[in-house]
Amino acid sequence: MDFIENIRLAVTGLLSNKMRALLTMLGIIIGIAAVITIVTLGDAITSTVSSTMEEMGGKNITVLLEEKNPEVVLPGMSQTLGVSMGFDIMGNMAESDLISDEMIGQLWDRYGDEIQALSMIEQVGNGKAQDGRAYSNLSVSGVNGDYEKSESLTLLEGRFINDRDIDRAVNVAVISDKTAKAIFGQADKALAQEIKVHMDTEIQTYTVVGIYEYEELVMPMTTQVAEEDVRTAFYIPLSTARKQTGAPDGCKSFTLMAKQNIQPSELADKVESFFDIYYRDNVNYRCSATSMDTIIEQMDDIMGTVSVAIAVIAGISLLVGGIGVMNIMLVSITERTREIGTRKALGATNGNIRIQFVVEAVIICLIGGIIGIILGILCGVFGSSILGYPAFPGVGIILIAVTFSMLIGVFFGYYPANKAARMDPIEALRYE
Amino acid sequence: MSETKQVIIQMKGIRKSFYIGQPHELEILHGIGLSVRKGEFVSIVGASGSGKSTLMNIIGALDRPTSGEYILDGVDISKAGDGELSGIRNRKIGFVFQTFNLIPRTSALKNVELPMLYSGTSKTLRTARAKELLEIVEMGERMSHQPSELSGGQKQRVAIARAMANDPAIILADEPTGALDSETGRLVMDLFHKLHREQGKTIVLITHNQELALETERILTLRDGNFISDEKGGQV
């Protein structure tokens, strides 16, 4: 019998009782909508995290000292976060454990052709630039010349810290345009001016040699602070910083930027082997070199796995939806026993009846699936926009959703359809 | 000078037993014989429990006899399989039920098309023939109406048109006026007579109503699973 006739028949049946049709489909609608929404949000979150981390230095390799017997599961991971947040995790370090300037010199000699930049930063602490009533919150850090490159800072005026500044350990500084505006009224007015910074109980004076453009990080979920209170970085020469904090020569970590055509993860391995030689005999510490792209990859993998897992769980609701469809079909078939008997009396074969009801189930699930997809797209786009990274589900997932809905229809419609097909026409015709 | 019309139904020694869970089977029909010629309008009369429903189901290919021979339009279908019986019902039998049994939420036109759907007739042919049949039963103006919008008499007329859809060997009517008032019932019976006279249809009417049976050409009375008489009728 005509497939199209069957489809028309199914649709007519649904239209004649819209409320029941809707309630039947509800499970499928919710299930599909949930899966699509989760996959879309998962994509958005992954992209947000990836792009944020890339902003923080995609091609960078982080080299740092860590304890040889770490308590954390991901060596390098928590340390990375710790160092970038300015904490001093390792308390019992001696000067001899630190990475010396000599070691770094030799690293340059060995791998200079693969290294674009080697930047070092040492946090001094939080401070406040003040001039009368004008102020600007600062995070004071000692850096070397290459820091500008590895962090992709945009210089607006003047220059960055250079080797001579470091050699002479002078009190010069590179400030943010925000700080410049706050203290001097206008960004370019700040050049060559003196700026006083209050830190704890001390006041230090610096000469401004450069102004960089302050960029907000992408993550919009950080608490909003007022314009004036935003804390920007204040860069001084590394040696100056060490003088102020009384820190010994030698650093606990630095960042390498690989040259364009170099694979960061490969260079990271080489660097780690290089330092292993120095730290072979060191009991407590070793050097680890981790490339950001490896971390990003790991993160992507994890997020991907989590998304899939949650989607599968949401898929369970599809199972429930399918059972709902089966239930309603059983009821519907019982109600239409007379009709089925009549059809058989008029010549319908068991196969005809079976197909009629399987098609009906498939149509219900297909329509439910389509509504669910539309709903899922709406929720997914809306939700991911809120996260700040609008994402749209790919064609692939939509096709899978459509196919899956239809399969649910076939699977859960089969039992009721079979029941109808096997009805004895004589009994069916007698049914009240 | 009577033409020997072809025999449409030829039944010999038809027995039907039901196994009702006891050591003994219950035999309802005890070796019935029946022959109906093409173009005859016969009725089978019997009271409740006479076995007329059982016999009707066998005539209508809804059921098989336990033993015996049933030759319908030249083919012995007494041992046909379920699939075969479906096909026979579709092409050879035109059912008319007491309760009309039209498919709800479907137009009269689509209802009449239904048997042709199952026989694989093309859409254009189906629709054309259905319209034609509805004209014959004088329901042409209401072909797009749904059963819920039709009166009992109108529904029965649509059902009769449906029964003729595949030009079956016989029209098998089970108490066709049972659910209608006498006036409407009259109209339906008139329609049967018209079809019999003008179209030469073979009609088998099953009823418990003696008066109705007397209208037909030939009255076969069934009692306790056996025919006890075969009389001429014809009193309209």
Query: A80 with A288: CB under 8 angstroms?
Result: no
CA distances from A204 to A49, A156, A200 (A): 38, 24, 11
Lowest mean pLDDT among A73-77, A226-230, B153-157: A73-77
**A2 interfacial to chain B (CB closer than 8 Å):** yes
**A320 interfacial to chain B (CB closer than 8 Å):** no
**B117 interfacial to chain A (CB closer than 8 Å):** yes
Residue B139 pLDDT: 94
Residues 6+ apart with CB under 8 A from A234: A127, A129, A138, A139, A140, A141, A173, A174, A175, A176, A179, A197
CB contact under 8 A, B118 and A348: yes
Q: Distance (Å, rounded) from C-alpha A168 to C-alpha A164?
A: 6
The residue among B103, B107, B127 with the most chain A CBs within 10 A of its CB, best to mutate, is B103
Chain mean pLDDT for chain B: 93
Mean pLDDT, to the nearest integer, of B187-194?
95
Q: Is the pLDDT of residue B3 over 80?
A: no
DSSP A187: G
Residues 6+ apart with CB under 8 A from A268: A61, A256, A289, A290, A291, A294
Instruction: Please report which confidence band the pLDDT of residue A218 belongs to, taking 50, 70 and 90 as the band edges.
Output: low
Lowest mean pLDDT among A304-313, A363-372, B192-201: A304-313
**B82 interfacial to chain A (CB closer than 8 Å):** yes
Residue A87 pLDDT: 39
What residues of chain B lie within 8 A of the CB of A345, using their CB? 60, 62, 89, 95, 101
Instruction: Please report which confidence band the pLDDT of residue A82 belongs to, taking 50, 70 and 90 as the band edges.
Output: very low
Q: Is the pLDDT of residue A164 over 60?
A: yes
> Per-residue pLDDT tens for A314-330?
778 888 899 999 999 99
Quick one: B100 exposed, middle or buried, by C-beta within 10 A (0-12, 13-18, 19+)? buried
Rounded to a whole number of angstroms, the distance from the CA of A15 to the nearest CA of chain B is 10
**B83 interfacial to chain A (CB closer than 8 Å):** yes
Q: Is the pLDDT of residue A64 over 90?
A: no
Instruction: Please report which confidence band the pLDDT of residue B93 belongs to, taking 50, 70 and 90 as the band edges.
Output: very high
Residues 6+ apart with CB under 8 A from A340: A333, A353, A420, A423, A428
* Angle between the N-to-C axes of helices A292-335 and A395-421, in degrees from 0 to 180, rounded to the nearest 10: 20
What residues of chain B lie within 8 A of the CB of A339, using their CB? 101, 103-104
Q: Distance (Å, rounded) from C-alpha A381 to C-alpha A359?
A: 32
Q: Is the pLDDT of residue A88 over 60?
A: no
Residue A220 pLDDT: 52
Q: Is the pLDDT of residue A387 over 80?
A: no
Residue A67 pLDDT: 79
Q: Distance (Å, rounded) from C-alpha B51 to C-alpha B208?
A: 11
Instruction: Please report which confidence band the pLDDT of residue B112 belongs to, taking 50, 70 and 90 as the band edges.
Output: very high
Rounded to a whole number of angstroms, the distance from the CA of A420 to the nearest CA of chain B is 15
Instruction: List beta partners, residue A244.
Output: none
CB contact under 8 A, B103 and A342: yes
Most confident listed range (A112-126, A127-141, A221-235, B126-140): B126-140
Residue B236 pLDDT: 56
The residue among A335, A346, A354, A432 with the most chain B CBs within 10 A of its CB, best to mutate, is A346
Q: Distance (Å, rounded) from C-alpha A22 to C-alpha A27?
A: 9
In the three-class reduction of DSSP (H, G, I as helix; E, B as strand; rest coil), residue B12 is classed as: strand
Rounded to a whole number of angstroms, the distance from the CA of A314 to the nearest CA of chain B is 37
Query: B43 with B173: CB under 8 angstroms?
Result: no
Closest chain B residue to the Cα of A339, Cα to Cα:
B103
- Give the other-Cβ count within 10 Å of A411's Cβ: 17
Instruction: Please report which confidence band the pLDDT of residue A358 belongs to, taking 50, 70 and 90 as the band edges.
Output: very high
Q: Going along B181-232, which residue ranges are E strands?
A: 203-207, 218-223, 226-232
Closest chain B residue to the Cα of A3, Cα to Cα:
B117
Instruction: Please report which confidence band the pLDDT of residue B1 belongs to, taking 50, 70 and 90 as the band edges.
Output: very low
Q: Distance (Å, rounded) from C-alpha B174 to C-alpha B44?
A: 10
Q: Is the dihedral of CA A112, A115, A117, A118 positive or negative?
A: negative
Q: Is the pLDDT of residue A109 over 70?
A: yes
How many CB contacts within 8 angstroms connect chain A with chain B? 62
Rounded to a whole number of angstroms, the distance from the CA of B118 to the nearest CA of chain A is 6
Q: How far is CA A221 from the centre of its chain?
A: 13
* Percentage of the residues of chain A whose pLDDT score is greater than 90: 31
Rounded to a whole number of angstroms, the distance from the CA of B125 to the nearest CA of chain A is 14
pTM of the complete model: 0.72
Residue A77 pLDDT: 52
> Per-residue pLDDT tens for A248-278?
888 888 888 888 888 888 888 888 888 888 8
> Per-residue pLDDT tens for B216-226?
999 999 999 99
Q: Distance (Å, rounded) from C-alpha B185 to C-alpha B198?
A: 20
Q: Is the pLDDT of residue A178 over 50?
A: yes
Instruction: Please report which confidence band the pLDDT of residue A14 belongs to, taking 50, 70 and 90 as the band edges.
Output: confident
**A432 interfacial to chain B (CB closer than 8 Å):** no
Smallest CA-to-CA distance from A415 within A318, A325, A319, A320 is with A325
Q: Distance (Å, rounded) from C-alpha A10 to C-alpha A191?
A: 78
Closest chain A residue to the Cα of B164, Cα to Cα:
A346
> Per-residue pLDDT tens for A274-305?
888 888 888 788 888 888 877 788 888 888 88
Helices in A129-220 by DSSP H: which ranges? 147-150, 163-168, 177-184
**A339 interfacial to chain B (CB closer than 8 Å):** yes
Mean pLDDT, to the nearest integer, of A402-425?
94
Residue B178 pLDDT: 93
CB contact under 8 A, B62 and A425: yes
For residue A240, give the amino acid letter.
Answer: T
Smallest CA-to-CA distance from B207 within B53, B86, B80, B63 is with B53
DSSP B209: -
Query: A330 with A414: CB under 8 angstroms?
Result: no
* Percentage of the residues of chain B whose pLDDT score is greater than 90: 90
Q: Distance (Å, rounded) from C-alpha A385 to C-alpha A382?
A: 5
